[in-house]
Amino acid sequence: MMEWKRLLSRRRLAKAEPAEEMPYRSAFEIDIDRITFSTSFRRLADKQQVHGIGGSDYVRSRLTHSMEAARVGRSLGTWVGARIIERFGQEAVPATPFDIGHVVAGAALAHDLGTPCFAHTGEDIVSDWFQGSAVGRRILEELDPQQAWELSNFEGNAQGFRVLTRLQGWRAQGGLQLTAATLGAYSKYPWSAPDSADAKRPHARKYGYFISEKELFAEMAEEIGLIRRGPEVWARHPLAYLVEAADDACYRVVDIEDAVKMRMLSFADAEGLLSPLVDIEPDYAQIDDEDRKLIYLRARAIDRLVKDAAAMFLERVDDLLEGKPCPALLHMTERATALKAIESISYSRIYRGQQRCETDIIAARTITTLLDAYGEALLAREAAGPKGDIPRRFASLLETMPAIRRMPYGRAEWVRMLIDYIAGMTDRFAIRQAQLIAG
């Protein structure tokens, strides 16, 4: 069974000792500060949540979604934390309710840092390119099968772990050097990609870290005492379920709110979907403005889902500490049917609506153009070697990559850095680069 004393470890990645506590900032609040001030976090301002370049200024970006999820996560974690301490005792849970709230908030704040330009569409396009393009298949030919699988099934959660533990921050090791507790709560899928054709993973496609971060993940998992379920497979940190619930509660509800603003759904549509999540009070009838009614429904719906998620977590906490697989918390509540109805409408009229399809077309052309150009140029650079010459068109293109001077010539390393570069782009920067390349 996992222990709260270890699950709430303040030891930072790549550090031998726990982080020193400050009188005015806990180790977990410092995690939040480090994430907030990171370059990858700022770039989320220009990465789409649902509605991309064609959206209005009102609708949410990945940045605003992450901030909202973090606030919901803080409430969830603090509420649950108080009950956990009451039940297990202060000695077994050496933290305050606010500490637990900050762990969940920090993990929720970071949960989209690995999202590439154009969000989940971007993940699919990268995967499709490696599976289907001539240049992509050439790159995969000489790679380890596990890395080839990662590239052909690109996963933003694994890219996010790489961002947090390697790409961001000024330190030589450990990236932002977050606490093991926050990294554990971040890790929604605590296993690697399959390392062989017959390897089994808890999810058919989702995974939480790349082979390049294998040792870093194992260091974190060992520190917090995650239960090992097999080679490169661990049970989830219990607080990861609260991070997931905070994300679910936010995007299920606010995607409907944004869709009304984008005129993809009517107010009546939204009211019909959100009302089953809400305990409507008499004051609702006194609101005479649809925008204000929508705000009421959104706020009350998220509040209700927070309470439901907290109650379900506390009901299942013993199973979670034993590492038993558990569905998403909100999928087990009495409002699961209402959430399913929202999911159905979201997929048919928002995620697959006309405006979203137009954005996806732009995304496909943009990312494919970038991968074709940079992939071909880097293959030529690899073949020429450090002392060889490559055609001027390739040399000029590669000079646009900030890391080109320190990029290795080995394929496993340079393809990882290529994906770091493209996944890190904002939507608008990716479009500008693709337009520059296409002429």
- Domains, the chain, in order of start with CATH, read 4-238 (1.10.3210.10), 243-349 (1.10.3410.10)
Q: How far is CA 330 from the centre of its chain?
A: 18
pLDDT at 367: 98
Whether the model clears a pTM of 0.75, i.e. scores above it, the answer is yes
In the chain, DSSP finds a helix count (H) and a strand count (E) of 19, 2
User: pLDDT tens across 247-292, in order?
Assistant: 999 999 999 998 898 888 999 999 999 999 998 888 888 898 999 9
pLDDT at 308: 96
What does the pLDDT read at residue 19?
Answer: 67
Q: Distance between CA 178 and CA 435 in Å, rounded?
A: 37
Q: How confident is the model at residue 121 (pLDDT cuts 50, 70, 90)?
A: very high
Residue 353 clears pLDDT 80, i.e. is over it: no
Residues 6+ apart with CB under 8 A from 372: 129, 133, 135
| Mean pLDDT, rounded, for 218-243 | 97
User: What pLDDT score was predicted for residue 52?
Assistant: 62
Q: What is the pLDDT of residue 7?
A: 98
Is residue 55's pLDDT more than 60? Answer: no
Looking at residue 101, its pLDDT comes to 98
Q: What is the DSSP letter of 288?
A: -
Please state, in angstroms and rounded to a whole number, the distance separating the CA atoms of residues 138 and 338. Answer: 47
Q: Which residue has the tokens 């222990």?
A: 3
State residue 63's pLDDT score: 94
- In order of 142, 160, 435, 437, the CA distances from 417 in angstroms are 16, 14, 22, 19
